[in-house]
Amino acid sequence: MATPTIRWATRNDIDPVSSLLEEYHRQEGLRGHSKERVRAVLEDLFELPLRGRVLVGEDEQGIVSYALVVRRPSFELASDVAVIDEIFVKGRAREQGLGRRMINFVEEWAQTEGLPAMTLEVSIANVNAREFYRSVGFAKVDREIYARSISGPR
């Protein structure tokens, strides 16, 4: 198997990225969204690249990985920061350094954009991912993330 190439996705990649996104969400037990909603969110990133970008890894058989990279303002750092919202490498492409290469790609992009930090979230239960992120230089910060669903007026 040839080493996958890494590149920014184009609109032509929406369908294969959507399929991988669905696979990742199933694997992680995340709430799925309709194909139409996923497509709309991805198309939005292509319309507004300052909000974020989609990175893909591709081998001779097609797209085998993706990362959703968004920009988020941080008043603490007085700058935007890069956020890896999701990163997924399909089973057959794992253990080849692709995830590490994708994170390095995002870091290089963030540097060219003048972004001072890169963040991500990981489930406490996902021990393998936590170990991987530590191995590529991420460190746990002294913060907790809280979320609240918004279903209508309160």
Domain architecture of the chain: domains with CATH: 5-135 (3.40.630.30)
Distance from first CA to last CA of the chain, Å, rounded? 54
Give the pairing type, strands 118-120 and 79-89. parallel
What is the tens place of the pLDDT at every residue in 31-68? Answer: 777 788 888 888 888 898 888 999 999 998 899 999 99
Inform me whether the pLDDT recorded for 1 exceeds 80.
no
Say what the pLDDT of residue 119 is. 95
Give the tokens for residue 79: 């700058």
Contacts 24+ apart (CB under 8 A), 19-27: 20/63, 20/64, 20/65, 20/66, 20/88, 20/90, 21/66, 21/86, 21/88, 23/88, 23/90, 24/86, 24/88
pTM: 0.88
The whole-angstrom separation of Cα 73 and Cα 119 is 12
What is the tens place of the pLDDT at every residue in 81-135? Answer: 999 999 999 987 888 899 999 999 999 999 999 999 999 999 888 899 999 999 9
Report residue 147's pLDDT band, with 50, 70 and 90 as the boundaries. confident
